[in-house]
Amino acid sequence: MKTQLEENGIVTLTQEGVNQIKDSPLYNEGLRPTTKEEHNWTGYNFASLWIGMAICLPTYSLAAGLISLGMNWWQAIGTIVLGNLIVLIPILLNAHAGTKYGIPYPVYARLWFGSKGAHIPSMARAIVAAGWFGINCWFGGAAVDTLLVAMTGWENVPGHLAIAFIGFWALNVWISYRGPEAIKKMEFWAAPTLLVMALALLAWALSSAGGWGPMLSAPSKFTSAGDFLKVFFPALTGAIAFWSTLALNIPDFCRYAKSQRAQIIGQTTSLPTTMGFFSFIGVAVASATVVLYGEAIWDPAAILAKFSPFVIFLGTLGIILATVTTNVAANVVAPARAIENLWPRKLTFGMGAIITGLAALLMQPWYLLENFGNYIFLWLGSYGALLGPIDGIAIADYWMVRKQRIDLVELYRPNGRYSYSGGINKAAVWALLIGIAIPIGCKAAGLTFVWDNAWTIGLLISLFAYTWLMRSDASLIDASHYNRITSTEAQASMAS
C-alpha cells in the first residue's frame, strides 16, 4: 500500500497516507507533513530569511564583544566566519530531511527520540529559543528607552528601562501570537531594508573615525599564542552555538523548500556572508568607538544614545525591525511548535508563543547581558554543550543509521515503528547523556580544552555513540520496505 509519493526528491503523503493519520493524537495542521503545493520557498526566500535573522543585535554584540575581550578586527571576524562555516554543515544536513519529507522539527525528533521522547530535544531547543527571545527583547527595549530619554523627560520615570523592556516584550509576543505564516513575506522586504541600514552604520563609523586606518588599527591585546587560544576556543564555540539552535529546527523552514537546490544555495550564500558582513560592521563600529570615545562600546543602545534625537529615532526603528524579524523567525517557531507538540489536539501555535514569552522573562536576559563574559562563556558556551550532542544524534539518525529512508505515516502513530519502548528511544537518551557528560566531566577535571569545544566534541561523541547503539534497531526500514510504501513520479503517472 502506497502511503507516500516521491517526486523530484520531495516526499509527500498520498491520500491513503493522510487518511491513516488524520485522526491520530500526534497529528494536527501545524505538525503534519507539507503538501506538494506548500513546497514553494525559493533560494531567495531562504537567503532573505537568513539576512533578516543574522542582521540582529546579538550578532553585532558577539562581534564587537570579541574586540572588548582583546582580539583585533581580523581575529574577531575570522573566528565568527569560521564558526558559521562549521555550523553550516549540520544546518544543511538537517535541512535535507526537512526538505525531503516536509516535517517540522518536533516530528523530526520523533524519529530519533520516539513519540514521547521527542519532547526532550524539542523542549531543549525551546528553552534556548526562549532565552534568545528575551535577549532580543532586552536589546530592543533598551533602544526604545534610549529614544524616549533622548526625546522626552523619560529618564525621570521610575523604572523607565524596565517599562520600555516590558512594552517591547509585549509587542513581540503580540506579533508572534499572530502566527508564522507571514514570515516569508516579512523577511522578503525586511532583508534589503536591514542591509541598507547596516551600510549606513558602517559609513558613519568610517567617516567619524577618519577612515579605515584609525578604525581598524587597534592591535590585539594578546602577547602570545597561548593567551589568544584561551579566548579563541570558547569564542569559536560561542560563534558555532550562536546558530546551533537553527541547525536543529531548520526543518521548520526547509519543509517549505521548493527543492534541495533552493535551500542549499539560499542558505550557503547567505548565512556565512551575512554573519561575516554584519560582524565586520560590529567590529568596525566598536573599533571606531575606541578612537572616538576611548573604549570599545559593544552595546548598540549605548552608542545610539550619543546621536541626535532624529538619528536615534531612525536607529530605533532599525533595531525594532531587526529584533522582530529575528525573534519571530528564529526564537518563536521552534518553542511554539515544541509546546504545540506536547498536546497536538489541544495546544495551538499562539498558545506556544505566549508561553515562550513568559519563559523568556524567567530566564532574566538582563543578567545574561550584564557583561560579555556571561554572554559568551555562560550563555553561548553552556547551551552549545547541550545542543551539540542533539545535533550529532539527528545527523547520525538520518544519514548514517536510516540512510534517508523514513516512513512518514509511522511518525504519527502513538504505538508505531518510531515509538520504540514506551515512546522513548533509549539509545538516543544514552547517546545524549554521554555527549553531555564527557565535556562536563572534562571541565571538572581541569581539561578545559574539551569544555571550550563542547559543541563540536559533544556532537561527534553522540554521533558515533548513537550510530553504534542503533546499528540493528527494529525501527530501521530497508530499501525494499521503502519502495513498498513509496510511489514514484513515474508510478503515479502510470496509475493516472
For 65-89, the pLDDT digits (tens) are: 787 788 888 888 899 999 999 999 9
58 domain residue, yes or no: yes
Check whether 42 has a pLDDT greater than 90: yes
112 domain residue, yes or no: yes
> How high does pLDDT run on average in the chain?
85
**Strand extents, DSSP E, 164-224:** none
46 domain residue, yes or no: yes
CB 113 within 8 A of CB 120: yes
23 domain residue, yes or no: no
13 domain residue, yes or no: no
Check whether 174 has a pLDDT greater than 90: no
Average pLDDT over residues 48-54: 84
Per-residue pLDDT at 389 = 95
Round to whole Å and give the CA distance between 141 and 143.
5
CB 14 within 8 A of CB 4: yes
Distances (CA, A) of 170 to 78, 84, 244: 37, 31, 27
Per-residue pLDDT at 141 = 86
CB 378 within 8 A of CB 387: no
185 domain residue, yes or no: yes
DSSP state for residue 154 in the 8-state scheme: G
Distances (CA, A) of 367 to 29, 130, 233, 372, 373: 38, 14, 23, 10, 11
27: cell is: 497529528
CATH number of the domain where residue 156 is located: 1.10.4160.10
- Which of 69-78, 148-157, 245-254, 482-491 has maximum average pLDDT? 245-254
Q: How far apart are the first and last CA of the chain?
A: 16
3-state secondary structure of 4: strand
CB 309 within 8 A of CB 148: no
Phi, psi of 5 (to 5 degrees): -125, 130
Check whether 376 has a pLDDT greater than 90: no
Residue type, position 244, single letter: S
DSSP state for residue 285 in the 8-state scheme: H
Round to whole Å and give the CA distance between 400 and 75.
35
User: What percent of the chain lies above the pLDDT cut of 70?
Assistant: 91
Per-residue pLDDT at 412 = 95
165 domain residue, yes or no: yes
Residue type, position 451, single letter: W
Q: 3-state SS of 23-62?
A: CCCCCCCCCCCCCCCCCCECHHHHHHHHHHHHCCHHHHHH
14: cell is: 498520498
Residue-wise pLDDT tens digits, 121-165 = 988 888 888 888 888 888 788 878 887 887 778 888 999 999 999
Check whether 94 has a pLDDT greater than 80: yes
Average pLDDT over residues 475-496: 80
Round to whole Å and give the CA distance between 393 and 407.
19
pLDDT band at 112 (very low <50, low <70, confident <90, very high): very high
Per-residue pLDDT at 9 = 93
The number of distinct structural domains making up the chain is: 1
Domain that holds residue 259: 39-393
Higher pLDDT, 473 or 278: 473
Kind and range of the H or E run holding 10: strand 10-13
166 domain residue, yes or no: yes
Average pLDDT over residues 202-230: 79
Per-residue pLDDT at 473 = 94
CA atoms within 13 A on the CB side of 261: 2
pLDDT band at 336 (very low <50, low <70, confident <90, very high): confident
pTM: 0.84
